[in-house]
Structure 1
Amino acid sequence: MFVAPPGFQPIYNPTIPYLAPLNGGLREGTSIYLHGFIPENITRFFVNLHCGEYESSDVAFYFSPQFDGWDKVVFNTCQNGCWESEEKIHHMPFRRGQDFEMVITVTSHGYKIRVNGQDLHTFNYRIPVERVNALQIGGDVSIQTISIIGGGNPGADQIGGNLPVMDGQTIFKPPVPYSSMIPGGMSPKKTIVIRGMVPLGANSFSINFMVGSSRDIVFHLNPRLQESVVVRNSLIGGSWDTEERERSALTPSWRDSTLTQLCVSAFKSFLSVPQMSIRCGNQQFKVFVNGQHLFDFFHRWQSFNEIDMLEIEGDVQISYIHF
């Protein structure tokens, strides 16, 4: 029986209002990733970082887009029941009737906010980040995904019983095609996490684990959406090896399966890709989606610690890559 590697399960479609613990709290390098939708009839919504799991707890960071005719985003802190001085931005990065992606990153001096890949504001600490231990979301908003990434907090195993914190480096909104060295290269138990979007009419995309010095592709993961098949292979010494492929998982009867959510949807205008993790073992790569094991790809390259490059290309947009 395969078990998901610790760490790569986001919270999907939480009920709003939402209030859940950030077990282990936050620290520098941690990012909170939110993927949501703004309704047409919005007035406002908020995201709070709480110093407690109760409505009356101090709020270390209050973030509230407000659609009131003078559209603005408000930032603040509440201590001992008293709100402090507001910070405001009269630039609204959210659009009625549209999806959004938002990232709150814990820096050395404050919370850095990005919306749809663009820097919005940095809110300097007024309450020590070490006091933050809960996340609250409320108002006119629908949230599809909450993920906690980065930070290297060994005590932060879960949020709301399901969401851990991961150590390492995170790249947000990289352009595709994407090519980068893997920090430290691959090693046993090392996992790379990828989340993105596949547009309507996409043909295929690929994720390649490579040996940079030779350009050999040790593991080629290639969902071919029009063929309804997921191909795995290696390109060693300029020659492709024997393909491994799964077709049945992409047939209509599997339309609600996690693999299909990853790869193909002919009836939606835009497909949200679940969080995908690729883990290197001693004998094989293990591929997981939403924490569920999909398949293994046994090593065809003896010195897998020489794998030091990641490439992503094709019909996909990437929200983040976590090394």
Structure 2
Amino acid sequence: LLTYKVPYQPNRNIPYLGPINGGLREGMSIYIQGTIPKHINRFFINLICGEYESSDIALHFNPRFDGWDKVVFNTCQNGSWGSEEKIHRMPFRKGEHFEMVIIVNFQGYQIKVNGIDFHTFQHRIPMEQVRGLQIAGDVSIQMINFIGPGGYPGGDMGPVPYSSIIQGGMFPKRTIVIRGMVPYGAHKLSIKFLVSRSRDVAFHIHPRFREGIVLRNSMIGGNWGQEEREMIFSLSLRCQSVVGTRGLKCL
């Protein structure tokens, strides 16, 4: 199962407080893209059990740049904070861009920053009670995206092979997140970004699982370019300057 979403209201103003339509379910993810300013003290990301600042907090994620850099996790119920979990590692760098994913699973909230596992905060409040997202402090947010089974804003991408239009096309800093599960014995996966009229392939990424390699290429006028090979499989696709790309195809 793969899920495909486009950014759903970029360039959010901070502080931000907004709903999570339909609430959280196991298997969903929240993708956040932003920038840490050079002069930062702290910021926080809350998953709240309502749509108001006074709502209970199921997840409090609070990076603190205070000389003893750390990230504090907690919950708040009926106005009372629980016991803090302090992680004395800082996954963010001052003045740099970041990509963060909150994965909702049975155990808790698994936090990944820039593709690296950081910490899993175990559930203290049932995930089904979460109804909102709150972000405040010294941070700039470019994108918030909800991904997963029935996740807002839309449903699952559907079975493969799959082909669809990218509404509005690609533009600088637009990010597409593809999340799925590779079945046992899988041989390969193909993802193509197509130019709508010419059917040229602006970008083709082709993991070959049995060989442990990822191939990248493009095709213009029916001719493939020089192939790039890499021994990894970690997808984070961001458009930098491609104009005219209108389609996404997964095989």
Aligned partner letter, 2:132: A
Indicate which of 80, 83, 100 corresponds to 1:82. 80
- Is 1:146 the counterpart of 2:148 in the alignment? no
Q: Which residue of 2 aligns with 1:28?
A: 26
Q: Distance in 2 between matches of 1:112 and 1:99?
A: 20
Aligned partner letter, 2:98: F
Matches within 5 A, 1:7-156: 8-153=6-151, 156=152
TM-score (norm 2): 0.68
Q: Distance in 2 between matches of 1:65 and 1:126?
A: 20
- Once the 2 structures are TM-superposed, how far is the Cα of residue 149 of structure 1 from its aligned partner? 1.3
Aligned partner letter, 1:115: V
8 A Cα contact 2:7 2:175, kept in partner: no
Partner deviation per Cα, 1:273-301 (whole Å, 9 max, x = no partner)? 89x87357xxxxxxxxxxxxxxxxxxxxx
Q: Which residue of 2 aligns with 1:221?
A: 201
Indicate which of 173, 185, 188 corresponds to 2:161. 185
Q: Distance in 2 between matches of 1:190 and 1:222?
A: 14
Classify the secondary structure of the residue corresponding to 2:22: coil
Count of residue correspondences: 198
Partner deviation per Cα, 1:108-131 (whole Å, 9 max, x = no partner)? 221000001100000111111100
Aligned partner letter, 1:150: G
Q: Distance in 2 between matches of 1:110 and 1:46?
A: 18
8 A Cα contact 2:192 2:248, kept in partner: no
Q: Distance in 2 between matches of 1:37 and 1:23?
A: 25
Q: Which has the higher contact order (CA 8 A, sep 6+)?
A: 2
8 A Cα contact 2:193 2:248, kept in partner: no
Q: CA, structure 1 residues 166+66, in 2 after alignment: closer, same or farther (shift >3 Å)?
A: farther
Classify the secondary structure of the residue corresponding to 1:39: coil
8 A Cα contact 1:148 1:165, kept in partner: no
Matches within 5 A, 1:267-306: 278=247
Q: Specify every segment of 5 or more residues in structure 1 that has no aligned partner in the other structure, as ranges.
A: 1-5, 157-163, 170-182, 197-206, 211-217, 224-230, 241-260, 265-272, 281-306, 309-323
Aligned partner letter, 1:141: V
- Once the 2 structures are TM-superposed, how far is the Cα of residue 10 of structure 1 from its aligned partner? 2.1
Instruction: Report % sequence identity.
Output: 53
Q: Distance in 1 between matches of 2:98 and 2:69?
A: 17
Classify the secondary structure of the residue corresponding to 1:73: strand
- Once the 2 structures are TM-superposed, how far is the Cα of residue 195 of structure 1 from its aligned partner? 2.5
Partner deviation per Cα, 1:200-226 (whole Å, 9 max, x = no partner)? xxxxxxx6379xxxxxxx954227xxx
Aligned partner letter, 2:162: M
Output the aligned Cα RMSD: 3.4
TM-score (norm 1): 0.54
Q: Specify every segment of 5 or more residues in structure 2 that has no aligned partner in the other structure, as ranges.
A: 177-190, 204-217, 225-237
Q: CA, structure 1 residues 277+119, in 2 after alignment: closer, same or farther (shift >3 Å)?
A: farther
Aligned partner letter, 2:160: G
